[in-house]
Amino acid sequence: MTESKRTDGSVLGTSPQDAKPESDESRSAFTPPLGVPLPPAPEPEGSAFLPPTRPASATNGSTTGNHTLPAFTPPEGIPVVRLPSDAPWQDRMRAMLRMPVAERPAPERAGKPESEGPSVPRVLDLTLRIGELLLAGGEGAEDVEAAMFGVAHAYGLDRVEPNVTFTLLSITHQPSLVDDPITASRTVRRRGTDYTRLAAVFRLIDDITAHEATLEDAYGRLAEMRRNRHPYPGWLLTLGAGVLAGAASMLVGGGPTVFVAAAVGAMLGDRLAWLCAGRGLPEFYQFVAAAMPAAAMGVLMNLYGSYLPGGGHVQSSAVITGGLYALIPGRALVAGVQDGLTGFYITASARLLEVMYLIVGIVFGVTMVLYVGVSLHAQLNPDEALHTYQNAPVQLVAAMTLTLAFAVLLQCERSVLPIVTLNGGVAWVVYGALHYQAGLSPIAATAVAAGLVGLFGQLLSRYRFASALPYVTAAIGPLLPGSATYFGLLAFTQGKQDVGVASLAKAAALALAVAIGVNLGGEVARMVIKFPGGGPVRRAAKRTRGF
């Protein structure tokens, strides 16, 4: 009897009892059990190490001349990602940064197709130079990475990964999975506050991402930004420091005499800090030198204020508090907390360590002068500054004046000054209404007011396609914990360590409330803004129960 085999492996012409059972060794690990269909055969083209060439008519593909760009296709397919061109580039690039590399859409190439695109090393160099200006100007690490990715993506480099730390910028470009990556880096050695230059950099990035600036044009505009001088002269900055300190002293209950004393102390401190900077001293010693004249002016006003025209007692605590307002590094604090909340823990740790060193310098300078004042029997009483905020209109004017002076010190554009001054006034009104009228704790009232500052600043920056820092940093000036810091230092000099620790802990809580409130307001603004076409989704890290 002739035997023949069926497709399922059994033998025809034999009974089931006579058929030899199949051994376990003959079964393959890839053979499905009965009732399960066989998997589809693998594609004959391509492998796990050599991605297939995508046709020119692919959905997310793009061609340059007659050459088709290679692309990696994940097993589940490429999802449809729509990034509307009319959305701000910050949100589009931040959304792409949080996507896996395989899910990012290919760059959109504008203009006539050319056989060769721009030089990859030059694009990477331009990207690093732009990122350096942003990081040195105080931008958060995530915003710097989004800007770097946007520049590289606009010039056709889709497989790029920027990386930002406190002092080092790097970017890696890998043309394909089988090509060697190209990495470039740049070190940020000097930092300066010039929000006018920062706004110019944002306008350049906006033109680049809109394909309106060639590589040569971008290099030319970048060189022009570096050559431009600051918008305000040095004498105006010194005067701004004095006005800031004087307005802050009135914010905590000072009068005209206190305003003048605080302004003189702050201006002397500013000039002394510039002198130390010109001699090459580190920033720590510059803050020590800048804090001493304001504290010395407060001690002198306490000892000899009664001899001034008009006589009477002068609030020396308000004089010293006003000087501290001009020195507290609120910009670096907000940037450090923002980096920590967005997942850049190394950069956040470095920024917060910088803030700690600067605050220690302020503490060192003020404490030395206060020890001398206590030894000279100066009657420094922290209770004298508690009977304040009795004239709401005066406090509002002082808060807005403080914000305006702070904006000048930050080198904001002249067109920004009225808006940021109004934002600071709104923040102070909200804080005063919640704390003094509704009886809310100062920490909670500070957080709510700072949240509104961050919300309005983010909305204004999106409306103008600019950075949010010019609209936010100066507006938080009236909320900074200057008085709590001074009271803590004074308690330490008088031997009241428990009171000093409690006051400094309150100052730290107020500072964190300012930083977290600003960041939360910005995140709320990003969530509520709706863009045509669905808008980009900005995914963040997801963790459950700490792991």
Phi then psi for 70, rounded to 5 degrees? -75, 150
CA 174 – CA 182 distance, rounded (Å): 6
Residue 185 pairs with which residues in a beta bridge?
A: 170
Q: Give residues with Cβ within 8 angstroms of 464, minimum separation 6.
A: none
CA 51 – CA 327 distance, rounded (Å): 57
CA 385 – CA 370 distance, rounded (Å): 17
476 contacts 425 by C-beta, under 8 angstroms:
no
468 contacts 459 by C-beta, under 8 angstroms:
no
Residue 186 pairs with which residues in a beta bridge?
A: 169
**Which two three-digit tokens encode residue 543?**
């963790």
CA 179 to chain centre: 34
**Per-residue DSSP letters for 33-102?**
PTTSPPPPPPPSS--SSSPPBPPTT-SS--EETTEEPB----TT--------TTS-HHHHHHHHHTS-GG
CA 287 – CA 289 distance, rounded (Å): 5
pTM (2 d.p.): 0.73
The single-letter code of the amino acid at 45 is E
**Which two three-digit tokens encode residue 3?**
């035997």
The single-letter code of the amino acid at 295 is A
Residue 502 pairs with which residues in a beta bridge?
A: none
Q: Give residues with Cβ within 8 angstroms of 191, minimum separation 6.
A: 136, 137, 138
**Which two three-digit tokens encode residue 97?**
């940064």
Helix (H, G, I), strand (E, B) or coil at 335: helix
- For tokens 């004959």, what's the residue? 44
**Alpha-helical segments (H) within 98-165:** 120-136, 141-154
Q: Give residues with Cβ within 8 angstroms of 410, minimum separation 6.
A: 193, 195, 331, 470, 473, 474
CA 88 – CA 81 distance, rounded (Å): 16
CA 514 to chain centre: 14
pLDDT tens profile 329-352:
877 888 888 888 888 888 889 888
CA 146 – CA 153 distance, rounded (Å): 10
Per-residue pLDDT of the chain (547 residues; tens, 9 = 90+): 444 444 444 444 444 445 555 554 445 555 556 665 666 665 555 444 444 454 444 444 444 444 444 444 555 554 545 555 556 666 666 666 666 665 666 555 544 444 456 788 899 999 999 999 998 888 888 889 989 988 998 888 878 889 998 889 999 998 877 778 889 999 888 777 888 888 899 999 989 988 888 899 999 998 888 877 778 888 899 999 999 999 988 888 778 888 888 899 999 999 999 899 888 888 899 999 998 998 888 888 877 766 665 555 567 778 888 888 888 887 788 888 888 888 888 888 988 898 888 888 888 888 888 888 878 777 766 555 444 456 788 888 999 999 999 999 988 988 899 999 999 999 999 988 898 888 888 889 999 999 999 888 888 887 777 888 888 888 888 888 877 777 777 777 777 778 878 888 888 888 888 888 888 887 887 777 655 444 455 555 555 454 4
C-alpha distances out from residue 8 to 21, 28, 193, 534, 546, Å: 13, 14, 77, 52, 51
**Which two three-digit tokens encode residue 414?**
């002249």
452 contacts 430 by C-beta, under 8 angstroms:
yes
Say how many C-beta atoms besides its own lie within 10 A of residue 112's C-beta.
Answer: 5
**Which two three-digit tokens encode residue 197?**
């230059």
**Per-residue DSSP letters for 273-321?**
HHHHHHTT--HHHHHHHHHHHHHHHHHHHHHHGGGSTT-S---HHHHHH
Phi then psi for 88, rounded to 5 degrees? -60, 145
CA 318 – CA 487 distance, rounded (Å): 11
The 3-class secondary structure across 397-461, one letter per residue, is HHHHHHHHHHHHHCCCCCCCHHHHHHHHHHHHHHHHHHHHHCCCCHHHHHHHHHHHHHHHHHHHH
**Which two three-digit tokens encode residue 44?**
């004959």
- Of 469, 473, 479, 474, whose CA–CA distance to 509 is shortest? 479
DSSP state of 1: -
